[in-house]
Amino acid sequence: MDQTRALGKTNLQVKRIGFGANAVGGHNLFPNLNDETGKDLVRTALDGGVNFIDTAFIYGLGRSEELIGEVVQERGVRDQLMIASKGAHKEGNGRIELDNSRDFLRGEVEKSLKRLKTDYIDLYYVHFPDGKTPLAEVAGTLKELKDEGKIKAIGASNLNYQQLQEFNADGYLEVFQSEYSLIQRDAEKELLPYCEKHGISFIPYFPLASGLLTGKFTKDDAFDDNRKNNPQFQGETFIQNLKKVDKLKAVAEEKKAETAHVALAWLLTRPAVDAIIPGAKRPEQLKDNLKTLDVELTDDEADFISGIFK
Ligand code: NAP
């Protein structure tokens, strides 16, 4: 499998399997995380040849970026790595609000640079729209930061189709990140075709549907993290999802591959999906997900798998 792709129309070359680092320091997202394990995850990613790491301010309110920055400095590998980060969340009065204003985003990029111990961020996304700042203006703020060399590529995340078009009014968008997996296919209607047409890389988040597509769950599993409130893990929807995953498991067995790897390999067959950023809580999971590169799906196999989850 071709292992490297350019991000959008940039010359930033990423390996197609990256690492989503929300469990590195993301103490506000997951219970019982440990900073040392977080750093080990980053070390394991680097040892495994990963060159694309996805973080955000909101993953631990800066802690994820700090831990990544420490390991990258310890290893002296900054120039070999593409770091993506995101901003829009503002802390204040004990609450988190969204802010896409020019002053706020410029300030956030400066803080991310310090936490990451670097003087540029390869890819910076506006994490969520704030519902008030015009999106073409937000893209303009990121273009300004790109022209100044503080960021190398412009990203946006969690926009609907209308917002995506507004953000890209001047053609600045290079990478779009949104939820997409075999379980959650909404992006296929408008978002993916738009990205394909405009040469924008689409990076799916929750590529394993938060672990559901690994095939490790049964109907008796209970959850104490954000899966507790995720409709895909509730009642009849959960049971139906497990049945579909069983069918995927059978495909994987026939190919002598793991279910998770087939689910991730399927994503890599989708147009505009230049790279994926599966998350991991433990280094073994991260290493395991890199085996996706050994799985080649024919067009017929990819279609068959699409059909299971339609
Ligand atoms: P994911 O990739 O769908 O699932 C990752 C989870 O699945 C892991 O934390 C682990 O959880 C389990 N897992 C992973 N590999 C496994 C393996 N080989 N065997 C068994 N279990 C395995 O979900 P995600 O990490 O939340 O999303 C990926 C990345 O997308 C994030 O890290 C983050 O960088 C990004 N993201 C972005 C947004 C956004 O708004 N832009 C939103 C969400 C995520 P357990 O061990 O607990 O089961």
pLDDT digit string (tens) for 94-109?
899 999 999 999 999 9
Which tens digits make up the pLDDT trace of 216-254?
999 999 998 889 999 999 999 999 999 999 999 999 999
Indicate if the pLDDT at residue 2 is higher than 80: no
> Is the predicted pLDDT of residue 3 greater than 90, yes or no?
no
Integer angstrom CA distances of residue 138 from 6, 125, 167, 203, 265: 24, 10, 7, 20, 33
pLDDT of residue 1: 61
User: How many C-beta atoms lie closer than 10 Å to residue 281's C-beta?
Assistant: 19
177 ligand 1 Cβ < 6 A: yes
For 4-212+258-297, CATH gives 3.20.20.100
| Model confidence at 294: pLDDT above 80 | yes
| pLDDT higher than 90, residue 167 | yes
Question: Is 161 marked active-site?
Answer: no
Tally of CB atoms within 10 A around 51: 21
What ranges do the domains of the chain cover?
4-212+258-297
For residues 242 and 234, is the Cβ–Cβ distance under 8 A? no
CA 93 – ligand 1 centroid, Å: 30
Please tell me if the CB atom of residue 207 comes closer than 6 angstroms to any atom of ligand 1: yes
Does this model's pTM top 0.85? My answer is yes
Smallest CA separation from ligand 1 atom 25, residue: 279
- On the question of pLDDT at 278 being above 70, the answer is yes
Question: Is 178's C-beta closer than 6 angstroms to any atom of ligand 1?
Answer: no
